[in-house]
Amino acid sequence: MTARSQKLLATAGVLIAVATVLGAFGTHGLKPRLDAAAFSAYESAVQYHFYHALGLFGIALVIRDGDNALLRWSVRLILLGIGLFAGSLYLITFGAPKFIGVVTPFGGLSLMVAWVLFAVGITRPRQVPQ
């Protein structure tokens, strides 16, 4: 296993752990305090955070056997997308100004492009780790 794939697996593991903590915190700590719309936004953030962190874990397993530029860009865009999409929703839930929501669609777009790049990148020749 390469150092890159180990680092990526560890990053995915941390992101999954954080999503789990935030999900539990939301259900047990925030749900009684938030209105339905705010809690729904928070739940969406946790779900997208979780799904894409799990996806990142899968990409790390693929990269373990070799990667290419498209796979590396897919990873970068997933990390960016989690930060922008889920991060902006988390911030709004915790009282950040609503204008922060302007970045949410860019996070979603980043996630969509990431998965397209992954789909194309997985069909391309990969550099085998040394």
3-class secondary structure, 122: coil
Q: Please check whether residue 19 lies inside any domain of the structure.
A: yes
**In the chain, % of residues over pLDDT 70:** 98
Q: Please check whether residue 128 lies inside any domain of the structure.
A: no
Least Cα distance to 91 among 22, 36, 27 occurs for 22
pLDDT digits (tens, 9 = 90+) for 31-79: 989 999 889 999 999 999 999 999 999 999 988 888 889 999 999 999 9
Q: Give the global pTM.
A: 0.91
Q: Please check whether residue 114 lies inside any domain of the structure.
A: yes
Mean pLDDT across 95-116: 96
Q: Please check whether residue 130 lies inside any domain of the structure.
A: no
Average pLDDT of every residue of the chain:
93
Instruction: Judge contact between 81 and 121, C-beta under 8 A.
Output: no
Supply 46's token pair. 């946790």
Residue 125's pLDDT band (boundaries 50, 70, 90)?
A: confident
Mean pLDDT across 87-94: 94
* Greatest pairwise CA separation for the chain in angstroms: 53
Task: State the Cα–Cα distance between residues 31 and 34, nearest whole angstrom.
Answer: 5
What total number of domains does the chain contain?
A: 1
